[in-house]
Amino acid sequence: MADDKKPSNWQQAITGEWHGMPSLFEADGTHVGYNKVSRASEFKDGRTTYWMETKFDATGPLNDRFEIGAKFNFGVIDSDQDRIYTGPDFIGTGRPYGLLVDSRYFSPGWNVDLRTVNHVVPELGLQVYSSQLFEGDTLVGVFNGLYVVTQDHETNPETQQKVIDFLAKEKTDGKKPFNYPVKNAGVFRGEFEVYNDQQELIGTNKVTIHHKPINLLHSEQTIEIEGVVNRKWTAMRTRNGNHHQFHGPEMFGNGMSYGRYLYSIRHSFGEAFKLWSRETVVDDDYTMVCAWQFLESQKEKYTTFGVLHWEEGEEILGAVYVE
Which residues lie closer than 8 Å to 230 by C-beta, 6 or more apart? Answer: none
Sorting pLDDT into bands at 50, 70 and 90, what band is 2?
very low
pLDDT digits (tens, 9 = 90+) for 64-108: 999 888 999 999 999 999 999 999 999 999 999 999 999 999 999
How many Cβ atoms are within 10 Å of 299's Cβ, its own excluded? 8
Position 46 scores a pLDDT of: 87
Is the pLDDT assigned to residue 3 strictly greater than 60?
Answer: no
> For domain 184-313, which CATH number applies: 2.40.128.20, 1.10.510.10, 1.10.260.40, 2.40.110.10?
2.40.128.20
Residues 16, 21, 26, 30, CA torsion sign: negative
Location of each CATH 2.40.128.20 domain in the chain:
9-173, 184-313
Overall fold of domain 9-173: Lipocalin (2.40.128)
pLDDT digits (tens, 9 = 90+) for 254-263: 999 999 999 9
pTM value?
A: 0.95
Position 219 scores a pLDDT of: 98
Largest CA-CA distance found in the chain, in angstroms, rounded? 82
Sorting pLDDT into bands at 50, 70 and 90, what band is 139?
very high
Is the pLDDT assigned to residue 1 strictly greater than 50?
Answer: no
Tell me how far apart the alpha carbons of residues 58 and 256 are, in angstroms, rounded to a whole number. 21
Position 4 scores a pLDDT of: 56
Tell me how far apart the alpha carbons of residues 21 and 56 are, in angstroms, rounded to a whole number. 9
Is the pLDDT assigned to residue 39 strictly greater than 60?
Answer: yes
Average pLDDT, the chain: 95
How many Cβ atoms are within 10 Å of 67's Cβ, its own excluded? 15
Is the pLDDT assigned to residue 194 strictly greater than 90?
Answer: yes
